[in-house]
Structure 1
Amino acid sequence: MTASVPFEWPAPPASWPEALRRDFAARAGNGQVGSRLVSETERVRVWLLTLKPGERIGFHTHVLDYFWTAVTGGRARSHYGDGRIVEVSYAPGDTRHHRYERGAFMIHDLENIGDTELVFTTVEFLDSANPPLPLGGARA
């Protein structure tokens, strides 16, 4: 995919602690949506995300259509670019699908606030309306 889509990343919410605001500002546009990219083809990227209790994956940006499945159960908290802070309980097998129109995106982090390891598989579709973001890069 060679077409580029100009994204304008928002500023982090002023009500967040300084450390979160710095992480958000530095990592908006980061396309690394998991702990490890385990497979990539012309059509998909498959990610593994593992978080031990108390661990957090920093802010990352979703622009591609994708789905995630919880491999293990547990609890997590996410901070979203629109200012929401959401806590969720997961059960093994929980799955959610997301779709993004051209120019649309979502920025968030994920912190394991439970007492068990959280494991997710995420599959991104490279033929989505938006081109993929750089992996590990920020402010694309």
Structure 2
Amino acid sequence: MAKDEIFTGPHWSDALRAELAEAGTNGRVGSRIVSESDRVRVWLLDLAPGERLPFHTHVQDYFWTATSAGRARSRYGDGRVVEMDYAVGDTQHHSYGPGESMTHDLENIGDTMLSFTTVEFFGGPNPPLI
């Protein structure tokens, strides 16, 4: 399947494809930074129903924890579109080797506020983005 065939369908507009193309240097993985040291950066993310965190790229090892229940859609840099239900306390850990990354967005498709805490760990093989 050709790359232009992957990013088609109801979840991929021209504007989203253009945003994705520019996301490689966007390291804003949350709404706001609430703490940062030489070892970690802590983000909070709050999305009201219908709100969306733009495409961003993860290069640091990190974890996120859902602090509210809700439903979201993520579009990924490889063309996948995934919808998930979250419960309070759901947590995922991610790790990246040299030159590895993951780009995606996050859209609240539910009817409640969706909130996460994300913690990035510095000192890995990739320089941090912001």
Letter in 2 for 1:33: V
Q: Secondary structure at the match of 1:45?
A: strand
TM-score (ref. length: structure 1): 0.85
TM-score (ref. length: structure 2): 0.91
In the other structure, the counterpart of 1:131 is 127
Aligned-residue sequence identity (percent) comes to: 64
Q: Distance in 2 between matches of 1:120 and 1:96?
A: 11
* Unaligned segments of structure 2, at least 5 residues: none
> Do residues 17 (structure 1) and 17 (structure 2) align?
no
Task: Work out which of the residue numbers 53, 58, 61 in structure 2 matches 1:57.
Answer: 53
Q: Secondary structure at the match of 1:28?
A: helix
Shift of residue 14 of structure 1? 4.0
Shift of residue 85 of structure 1? 0.1
Letter in 2 for 1:60: H
**4+ residue stretches of structure 1 with deviation over 2 A?**
none
Greater share of residues in helix: 2
* Unaligned segments of structure 1, at least 5 residues: 1-9, 136-140
How many pairs does the alignment contain?
A: 124
In the other structure, the counterpart of 1:109 is 105
Asked whether the equivalents of residues 73 and 106 of structure 2 are also in contact (C-alpha less than 8 Å), the reply is yes
Asked whether the equivalents of residues 47 and 115 of structure 2 are also in contact (C-alpha less than 8 Å), the reply is yes
RMSD: 1.5
Q: Distance in 1 between matches of 2:79 and 2:86?
A: 22
